[in-house]
Structure 1
Amino acid sequence: MKKLVPALAAMALTTACVMPPKDVTDEDLVAYDAAVASIGCDLRSESDYLPVELQTGLTREKIIEIGQYKLSTEEVVALEGGGVRLVTGACAPTAA
């Protein structure tokens, strides 16, 4: 049983470390946040993706991968009907 505890702790630590998508830099993540915030924090349709692509210089595929990564880190939440909402930085929900 004593050998199991360190193994479980290591597994928990490994699963807690989610890596950003391949070929995505910290600057890309910051640019994503700024671009999504500039369009109102929701990324759901073509009219949302295009300005984010233009502002960041990232492909649609990378934008989607970043959204999936940020979903796993709880920096975005899934929207009903598809898409995501950024919930950090300028898009953080405010207490009512």
Structure 2
Amino acid sequence: MVLWYGLAEKVEAAGQAPSQARSPGPLTRREQQIAELVAQGFTNKKIAATLAISQRTVDAHVEHIMVKLGFTSRAQIAAWITENLTKPRT
């Protein structure tokens, strides 16, 4: 998973911000990655262990996701991810 973060840096170095690279909607790549894990039922503690980041960092990302999308629950994040991943991309 750290490799994915490294790829974001390569994209940024090429002149494209990580949030613009393959990220649907208003979320950054890292926020989308965390939202996908939330949708899979991971706890913040498990997400932190999976991504090798602190639980506090995950807490902050989840909070930012909720604020950006206007949500109040993890279930809403899961529904949003499901809806956005099943839509055909053009």
TM range, smaller chain: 0.3 to 0.5
Structure whose residues are more often helix by fraction:
2
Structure whose residues are more often strand by fraction:
1
Whichever of the two has the greater Rg, that structure is 1
